[in-house]
Amino acid sequence: MPHNNLMNIYHVRAASIMANYLKALETGGHDPVHDLRVDLKRMRAFFNLAAAVNGDFDMKDRFKHYRRIAKNTGMLRDAQVQQVMLDEVEKATGIAAGEYRLFLEGREREGFEVFRAFAAGGYPSGKLERTESAVRRALNEIEEQLVRSNAENRFLSLKGDLMARTIDRNPRPETLHETRKLAKETHYMMEIIRDGIGFDFSCEPFLEAIKLLHRALGAWHDSDVSIAHLDEFLGVQGIARSTEPYAALAAHLAGNRQALYDSIPAVFAAFTDTAGA
């Protein structure tokens, strides 16, 4: 039954968010922070599905407690991602950017303190219990067949929008961020309707294709953001971009971003070939 299956998905995701929240709060480690952020994005897709199923469900209001967790872990995760990228650059090139590393480590500590200050009020279990009740009501108010058709229509709409974007074999860089977010939403929505609705669709080839698309756009985005982080560091420190080792680091990051951008048309083509089959 779609109602029960969807609520089971909700419970699994809510439990995973809480578990990773507590792990991240204990250690600030890369893995639990990453897993928490992914869990929150999957839950956001679930709330969007609930809004598609029942037009009276106020997704923006009901998701607000999860959104606050995402907001207060963003700085921490960004700093961690940039440190991983710097590790990769240093191993590949031998560039040593010690001052920049210290800057990123400081940002990570600052981000962890932001998260800890937010978490000082405790995990919002009571508020999230009320959120769960609202989600259950939104689903139960809609007849099962309509739940199924509305969910399928939501997915097909996302898929159509994503295919319209990926048909473009010469995408402008400024459009890729929105395409990346759409790919994530479509990916997570597909998982929900596969497991919760039993949508009759060639799931595995599509999921593999969208995962490749999701990863490619994510890598490009991280690379693009890495240049902004480096420029922020240079501005704070009053260091010219032409100063070594930062000139070499900036050149490598720009080259990596361009290489990732150049790979995207082929990834788009592979996705549209699979999604259109």
Residue 1 has pLDDT above 90, yes or no: no
210-252, pLDDT tens digit by residue?
Answer: 999 999 999 999 999 999 999 999 999 999 999 999 999 999 9
- pLDDT band, very low/low/confident/very high, at 21 (cuts 50, 70, 90): very high
Provide the pLDDT for residue 67: 98
If we measure between CA atoms, which residue out of 219, 272, 268, 228 comes closest to residue 250? Answer: 228
Provide the pLDDT for residue 201: 60
CA distances from 23 to 17, 30, 66 (A): 10, 10, 16
> Residue 18: which domain range?
2-275
30-67, pLDDT tens digit by residue?
Answer: 999 999 999 999 999 999 999 999 999 999 999 999 99
Provide the pLDDT for residue 173: 92
Provide the pLDDT for residue 266: 94
Write phi, then psi, for 37 (nearest 5 degrees): -65, -40
If we measure between CA atoms, which residue out of 76, 141, 68 comes closest to residue 104? Answer: 76
93-115, pLDDT tens digit by residue?
Answer: 999 999 999 999 999 999 999 99
| CATH number of the CATH domain containing 178 | 1.40.20.10
Into how many domains does the chain fold? 1
